[in-house]
Structure 1
Amino acid sequence: MKKAVLSLLFCGFCAVAVQAQQTIFSEEIDIPAGYITDEVLMPPSPLSMQVLFVGGVDLVQTTPTYGYEAGIAYAKEWHDFIGFTPDETGESLGWVSVNHEMIYQDNRIGDGGGMTVFRVERDPITGLLNVVDQELEDGRAGKFFNVDFVNTVGETGMNCGGITSVVDGRIWTAEEWFRSNNGSIYNGGFSGTAGSGAYPKSPGGAENQGVRDTSNYLISSDIEGFDGLEVKKFENFNWMVEIDPRQAKAIRKQYNFGRQGFEGGAVSLDNKTIYLGVDATPAFWCKFVADEPGDFTQGKLYVYKHDLPEKWVEVDNTDPQKMLNFADEAVAAQGTMYNRVEWVAIDPATGKIFWTETGRDKPGSRWADENAAGAVHDPYHMERAIGKGLDSPNSSDYPDYYGRVWVYDPAIDSNYVWIEGGPEWDEETSPSEADYFSKHLSNPDGLNVMTIDGQSFLVICEDLNGRSYGRVPAGVANSTCELWLLDLSIDNPSVDDLIRISAVPRGAEVTGAQPTSDGKSLLVNSQHPSSANPFPFNHSLTYAIHGFDQVTLTNLQEPEFGEVEGLQIFPNPTTRKVFLSKASDLAIYDANGQRLKVFRNTSEVDVSNLPAGAYFLQTAEGETKKLIVE
C-alpha cells in the first residue's frame, strides 16, 4: 500500500524550535497496489464525499435549438471547470457551473462542447448540498440546465477551464480546443471514440461529427470592432465566453481578450484586471485591464515581457485581425514564453496570482521558431536548460516532464516558481512501486485557493501527461491523478509540504477544485474515467468534499536537535510521526529485516499504520536507528 499522510505539518528542522501548524486530523489515504482504484478515494472523518452531478446520466433542460423544440437531453460528459456563483438573495447557497470537454453533435444541447448549471442549497440537518428546482426566464424548469450557446454566441469548442470571479462570482468558460480551419471543427481529422482530440459517440448519435454548420458566422457583440464582423466559422472558436449561470445562457464571447487556446484565468481584487492562462507551447502570460471596474467590454490587452522595465506590452485589441491572430501579435511583441499555462487562481488574502505550467515532455521544437522570431524564454527555463547541459530550452532534449506552479506578484510585477513538480527522475523507466516516492507532483493543471480556518491553501489538481520518467511507478498502467493542498504561508514550499486529500478512479483526471462560498465544501470533478469502473465512477462526475469547516489549525512545537553528529530521531518511542535531524533517503525494516517502506529526501515519516513493535530506520548512507512504535 502507498500511504499519504493527511496532515498539515509543515516546516523543516531549524537551529531553534519553530512554530508549525497541524490539523486536528491526520488520517491517511490508501492507494491500492498498482495504483488502480475504481472509485474516488477520500480520507475519513471529518471529510466526507457526496456525488452531485453525473454526466451522461443526469438530464438537462434544453432550449429550442437547430429548429427543435425545448426539451431534455442527457448531460454531456468530460467535466472540467467548476464555477461557483453565490446567491446574494440568501434563498440558496448559489449556482454551480460545470464545463464539458466532450465534443459531439447534439440536436438539443448544441454541437461542440457544452456546459451545465444547477443551483444548490445547504441542508440544515445533514450539511449536504441539495440541488434546487428552478424555473428560468425562458420557461425551462427542473434541476439541471444546459447553457445555451447556439442561440446566443454560436457553438463552443471543448469547454475546458474557466474563470470564477472572487469579487462577484461572474463566470467565464474557456474554449481551449484551438482550431485552424473549418474542417477541424467538423470532424477534427480524428478517428475513434476516445482521447481528448477525438469526437466521442453521442448517445444514439454518430461518431466523429463535431460542429455541422461551417458557414461563415456573423458576430453580434457589444465589443468595439466586432459587432457585424463576418468571420470563418472556426474563427468564432477559442475565446473566453461569459455566461449567466442564473439563467443558463451565454452573454458574450470576449473578442477583446484575443483568440487563444484558453484554459483559465483570475479576476483581481480591483475587479478590473483579468489574468489569462493559455494551454499551448509556447504560451504567453497575458492580462486584460478594464477601463471601469466590472465592465469587461472595454479595456486594454497586454502580453508579459519579463526583460523590460515596464513588463507589459499592449496589443491593440480594437483591431479584429490582431485579436483573431493573437499568438502572432504576442511573438511580434517579443513576449515571454511558457510551456502550457493552464489554470489561474488568486489568493484574496494577498492578491498574488498563482498559475500552473503543466509542462510537456520535450517542448523544444514547439517554441524554437517563435524564439527565432523574437519571443523570449523566461530566465527560469534558460537557467534550467543550462543546468541540464543544454544550450537553451529550444533543444530537442530539453525535458519538462512534471511542470510546476508559478506565482505572479503584482507588488513586484514579476513571475517566479512557487513549487516545482517532481521529485525529478532522470531515467525513462520509473522507479518500482516499492521504491517510489512517498509524494510526487506530476503535471499540475486545475488550481484554486481555499481558506481553511482562516489560512489560505492552494488546491492543486493533477493531469498526468504520461507515465514515464517517474510520473507513476514502473509497470503501472494507470495514470492515477491526485488532489493536493498546499499551505500558502510556507516559504519556499516543496513536494514534501503537499497534503493529499483525494484521488480519482482509474482513467480519470482530477479537476475543477472550486470551494463553495461558505467554505464548508470543495467541489471536484472526476473527468473521463474508465468505463470499467462501477457506477457512478464509470462516468464523469462532480463531487463535493464536505467538512472543511470542521478542520482547525493548532500551534505545535517542532523538536530542537542538538549539535550531536549523525542521524537523530524524535520522538522515540512514537505513535504516529518520527522526525529526523536531517533530510535523508530512508527505508524502514521490521525486526526480521524485511523492508517495509522507502522514503525519498524526507525529514519526517508517518508510521501510524505500522503495528506496535520494534523497527529499524536506515538511511542511504547506512546509518541505522532503532525505532519503537507504540
Structure 2
Amino acid sequence: MRKTYSLLLCALLMSLSSQAQYFFDVRVDTSWTPTKVVLPPSPLKFQIIFVGQDDKVQTTATYGFEAGEALAKQNHDFIGFTPDNDSDDLGWVTVNHEMVVANDSIGDGGGMTVFKVRRDPITDEIIVVDQTLSDGRTGKFFNIDFVNTVGETGMNCGGITSSADGRIWTAEEWWRSSNSSISSLRNLDPFTIMTDIVGDFNGKTIEKYQNFNYMVEVDPKEAVAIRKQYNWGRQPFEGGTIMPDNQTVYLGADATPGIFSKFVAKTPGDFTDGKLFAYKHDAEGEPWVEIYNTSLEDMLNFTQKALAKGATMFNRLEWVTNHNGKVYMTETGRDGIGSRFENGAKAGGVLDYHWLEPVRLRHPKMIDKPDDQVIDFVMRGGFNDYYGRVLEFDPATGQVTTYLEGGPFFEASPEFSAYPEKHLSNPDGLNILNVDGRAFMLICEDLNGTSKGRVPAGITNRTCELYLLDMTVENPTVEDLTRISVVPLGAEVTGAQATPDGKTLFVNSQHPSSSNPYPYNNSLTYAITGWDGAISAIDDLDDLSFEPSKNFRIWPNPVARELKFNKVIDAAIYNASGQRLKVFRNQQSIDVSDLTPGMYFLSTSEGETQKLVVK
C-alpha cells in the first residue's frame, strides 16, 4: 500500500514525483490589479466573515458613555484562535485593529474584536454564533475592553495564540516616545499600573505614552483585556510564540535594530513570574543574556538594556511561530538600513552571521571577502534588505540561520511578461497549518515598496500574496512556495490562522484601497475552508498512474459540461481524495456538469490517466 499526499499546485500538468503530491490547480490571478480577494478554485470554499466599519460590535460602558454597539474598527491584522473544548462550537476568533483613532464607544487607540464560530456539519460553512457574556453584552461581535482594564491600546499588530492552551496576546507595535506622539487620545494623564506581575510594577505611575508597546493578554471568552506584560519589556512588539511546554515564550520586535527575546516562566502557564533574556549569538555557553525584569525602570528601557549587554541585532523581526521544537520568525527587511545598526553597535549591539548568505548572494564582490568584512558591510548600511527572509532558531544549537531567503533579486523590475511565477517580498505574518499529520508554513507578504522586482515594471500597487510551504522540503527556496491567495488593491494580507482541525484558514485583508467594490474597500476577515480535501492523505492509489498519458487526450480542459476524448474508452473519475465518483463504459464524450468545480483525475481501463479541471 502506498500513501501519498495531495497539495495545491499552480501548474496544471506537473509531475507528481516531488516531495508533496499535488492534485489540483491553484492558478491564482496575478494580474497585479485585483479588486477583490483572489484564491484557488474549488474544492476550497471562500467566505467573508467579518467586515470593518460594517459589522457592529457590542461595547462596554466607556468614557462615561453607556454600553451599546458601534461599527467595528478597521485595519484587521493578527488573528487568534481559542478552541472551545466544552461545546460543539469551534471556538473564539480574535482580530486585531492596527490603527489609532478616537472612539467614544470602543475606546481610543486600536483594539480587538472577538466572535465565536461553529462549523455547519453538512456544508462545512463557518457560522458566527450569538453569545451572551457575563457582563450582559449579547450579540455576535464584541469589542475587547482595554480602556476599563489595562488602559488604551494602540496599533495592535501581531500577537500570540498559545499552542498549549489557546490563550491570546495582542502586540502593541505603536512605538511612542512622548505624550505629544499620542495626541489623538483624549486623556494624556499619567497612568497608574494595577497588575499582579511580580516586581515593583503594581501601583507605579508612569507617563501615558509609557503604557504602550507591550504584549497584552486578553480573555476572548469574556471580551476583556487581562494584563499588559510589563515583565516582557517595553518594545515595538509584533510577534511571539509560546512553546508546547507552556513556559517558554519567544518574542520579536519590529525595529532596526530589533531584539529577539525569550521569557521563561517560573511555573508553566503563569506568565506573571519568570526570567527575561535577549538573544546574543556570541555569548559563551547559552546564547542568551538575562535582562532583569522585576524593575519597571529596566522594562521601560528594555532595548537599551539589551544592547548594553551585547544583544544581537535584527532588521525588523515580525511574526514568530514554532514547529517540531524549532522557532521561525520573519525578518521583514528594510530598503535602507542606514545608520541604524551602527547606532545600535555604539550602544553595544552585535550582528550575527546569518547575514553572510544574503549579502554574498546579492553582491558578487563580497563573495571572497572575510566574514567580518561582510558583517561590517551590513553594519555600515551597505546592504539594502529589499526582500527580507524567514529565519530559523534551533534551541538545541542556539543558532539563528536563514530558512527561506526572499527574492529573487532584480536590480530593475522585469516587465510583466518576464516576471517570475513566484517572488517573495517582505514576509510578515507567519504561522503553521497542520492537516492530516503534515505541517505547512503560511507566509504573508507586506511589501515595503514596489521597486527592485517586488512587482512587475510599471505596477504601482503593492499587491500582497499568501504562500504555503511544505515543511518536509529540505533547504526550501522560493520555487517551493505555493500561492494560495492574493488580496485586493492596496491591501496587506495578514492573520493566516488555521482552525485546529485543519479544515479552515482565517485570513485578513487589511487597509485595501477605498476604490475597490464593496466589501473589498474595507478591511475584512475571510475564511478559506476545505483544506482537509486539498491537503489530505490518500491511500490505495497504486492502481492509478499519475503520469499524463501521451496517446490519450481530453478536451476542452478546463471544462464546464461536455468532455470529449480522442477515442472510445471505459474509464472512471476520481476526486482529490481518491474517491471514485463516476464510472462510464464505451464512451467518447461525457457530461460532467454535475461535478463541483475543481481538479479531478480521469483513468481509463488501460491505465491511461489525465488531470481534469471542471469549471
Band of TM-score, shorter chain: 0.7 to 0.9
Contact persistence 2:10–2:27 (CA under 8 A): no
Pair 1:423–1:102, CA change in 2 (3 A) = same
Cα offset for 1:91?
Answer: 3.6
Give distance in 1, aligned partners of 2:355 and 2:306: 18
1:381 aligns with 2:378: no
1:26 aligns with 2:25: yes
1:499 aligns with 2:451: no
Cα offset for 1:18?
Answer: 6.9
Local SS of the residue matching 2:328: strand
Structure-to-structure mapping, 1:483-522, within 5 angstroms = 483-522=466-505
2:464 to 459, 469, 481: 481
Pair 1:230–1:487, CA change in 2 (3 A) = same
Give distance in 2, aligned partners of 1:19 and 1:420: 21
Corresponding residue of 2:328: 354
Normalised to the residue count of structure 1, the TM-score between the two structures is: 0.81
Corresponding residue of 2:447: 464
Structure-to-structure mapping, 1:392-403, within 5 angstroms = 392-403=377-388
1:411 aligns with 2:401: no
Contact persistence 2:89–2:118 (CA under 8 A): yes
1:545 to 528, 538, 553: 528
1:149 to 132, 146, 155: 146
Give distance in 1, aligned partners of 2:38 and 2:521: 14
Cα offset for 1:19?
Answer: 6.0
Pair 1:571–1:334, CA change in 2 (3 A) = farther
Pair 1:424–1:129, CA change in 2 (3 A) = same
Give distance in 1, aligned partners of 2:63 and 2:175: 24
Corresponding residue of 1:344: 320
Letter in 2 for 1:487: D
Cα offset for 1:385?
Answer: 4.2
Contact persistence 2:10–2:26 (CA under 8 A): no
Corresponding residue of 2:159: 162
Local SS of the residue matching 2:29: strand
1:371 aligns with 2:356: no
Cα offset for 1:381?
Answer: 1.9
Local SS of the residue matching 2:20: strand
Structure-to-structure mapping, 1:297-312, within 5 angstroms = 297-308=272-283, 309-312=285-288
Contact persistence 2:308–2:348 (CA under 8 A): yes
**Paired residues, number:** 531
Structure-to-structure mapping, 1:199-214, within 5 angstroms = 210-214=184-188
1:430 to 413, 417, 427: 413
1:246 aligns with 2:221: yes
Contact persistence 1:463–1:509 (CA under 8 A): yes
Cα offset for 1:274?
Answer: 0.6
Cα offset for 1:383?
Answer: 5.8
Pair 1:397–1:572, CA change in 2 (3 A) = farther
Unaligned runs of 5+ in 2: 1-6, 367-373, 555-597, 600-615
Structure-to-structure mapping, 1:29-68, within 5 angstroms = 29-32=28-31, 35-68=32-65
Local SS of the residue matching 2:95: strand
Residue identity (%): 56
Contact persistence 1:105–1:211 (CA under 8 A): yes
Normalised to the residue count of structure 2, the TM-score between the two structures is: 0.83
1:320 to 285, 293, 296: 296
Task: Supply the RMSD in Å over aligned alpha carbons.
Answer: 2.5
Cα offset for 1:386?
Answer: 6.3
Structure-to-structure mapping, 1:124-203, within 5 angstroms = 124-186=121-183
Letter in 2 for 1:525: N
Give distance in 1, aligned partners of 2:353 and 2:513: 40
Give distance in 1, aligned partners of 2:538 and 2:337: 44
Give distance in 1, aligned partners of 2:182 and 2:134: 32
Pair 1:27–1:157, CA change in 2 (3 A) = closer
CA-to-aligned-CA distance 1:351-389 (integer Å, 9 cap, x gap): 211110000012131121111332100112256446634
Letter in 2 for 1:334: G
Local SS of the residue matching 1:419: strand
Pair 1:19–1:483, CA change in 2 (3 A) = closer
Contact persistence 1:404–1:443 (CA under 8 A): yes
CA-to-aligned-CA distance 1:253-276 (integer Å, 9 cap, x gap): 000000000001000010000100
Contact persistence 1:80–1:512 (CA under 8 A): yes
Pair 1:572–1:321, CA change in 2 (3 A) = farther
